[in-house]
Amino acid sequence: MEKTYISDIAFSDAVKKRQEENGSRRIYENMAKKRDWDNTISEQLKGFIKERDSFYMASANAEGQPYIQHRGGPKGFLKVVDDRHLAFADFSGNRQYISTGNFDDNPKVHLFLMDYPNRTRIKIWGEARIVPATDDLIELVKDPEYNVPIERIIKIKVTAWNANCPQHIKERYTLEDMDPKLQFLRQKINLLEKQIETLESRQ
């Protein structure tokens, strides 16, 4: 019987067949043997999640039709519950309920987390479910600065995660990322303007 790996969640029999046909199966099999993907949330992953202010979430309905949704909030709005679970607050939006409806039929979920400045991406496979908004979970996922009632809480059991190589990831920065550098430039410009004024006053 062939040994199974955590990465088999992505490398199905059909995928492995394609890898065989294209000459890459042995590479990924050796990688799994030496260091397979993980299914527990490490301190490294926890720190990465804490710094994210958005992620992409893929779900699929009973017929397999995929759907991708962007989720955003303050840094760390995606919470680590324990070493196998994540959770986040779901607020009233456009009231389409596509993701939550998909979870009723098919709990499989995939998260795509990007760190553009450091050219890093992490993919998380899991199973999602809508859970009761208990006091302890509300306390965990709520944002004190966003005074909107939490409609539901989505909890995700992590079944695998993997970090991708940085190839083809373009560096992008938010205004928050750039603010310290802009502040330095503003101070430099102010200093230079004062020096120019001083020189002009001496002429």
As beta bridge partners, residue 115 has 120
Q: Return d(Cα 67, Cα 163) in angstroms, integer.
A: 22
5 & 30 share domain: yes
Is the predicted pLDDT of residue 129 greater than 90, yes or no? yes
In this structure, the answer to whether residues 104 and 58 fall within a common structural domain is yes
Domain membership of residue 69 as a residue range? 38-175
Q: Are residues 26 and 81 in the same domain?
A: no
Radius of gyration for the chain, computed over Cα atoms and rounded to the nearest angstrom? 23
Report how many domains make up the chain: 2
Residue 170: per-residue pLDDT: 85
Residue 30 lies in a domain: yes
- Do 52 and 30 fall within a single domain? no
Asked whether residue 2 falls in the same domain as residue 69, the answer is: no
Report, as an integer, the average pLDDT of 4-29: 95
The CA angle 102-104-106, to the nearest 5 degrees, is 60
Other residues' Cβ atoms within 10 Å of the Cβ of residue 81: 18
Does residue 81 share a domain with residue 54?
yes
**Same domain (yes/no): 66, 107:** yes
Q: Let me know if residue 181 belongs to a domain.
A: no
Looking at the structure, do residues 112 and 29 belong to the same domain, yes or no? Answer: no
User: Residue 1 — very low, low, confident or very high, per pLDDT cuts 50/70/90?
Assistant: low
4 is written with which tokens? 């199974």
- Tokens 């553009």 belong to 116
Whether 199 has a pLDDT exceeding 70, the answer reads: yes
Residues 105 and 134 in one domain: yes
Phi-psi region of 99 (alpha: psi -120 to 50; beta: other; left: phi over 0): alpha
The tens digit of pLDDT for each residue in 37-93 reads 999 999 999 999 999 999 999 999 999 999 999 999 999 999 999 999 999 998 877
Q: Is the pLDDT of residue 200 over 90?
A: no
User: From residue 11, how far is each of 6, 29, 109, 110, 185 by CA, in Å?
Assistant: 9, 10, 16, 15, 49
Same domain assignment for residues 55 and 153: yes
Binned at pLDDT 50, 70 and 90, residue 2 comes out as low
* Mean local confidence (pLDDT), 12-16: 95
Instruction: State the chain's maximal CA–CA distance in angstroms.
Output: 90
- Of 93, 96, 87, nearest in space to 129 by CA: 87
Are 47 and 28 found together in one domain?
A: no
Closest CA to 10 of 39, 51, 42, 50: 39
Q: How many helices (H) and strands (E) does the chain have?
A: 6, 7
Tens of pLDDT along 138-187? 889 988 888 888 888 999 999 999 997 788 888 888 888 888 888 888 99
- 24 in the same domain as 108: no
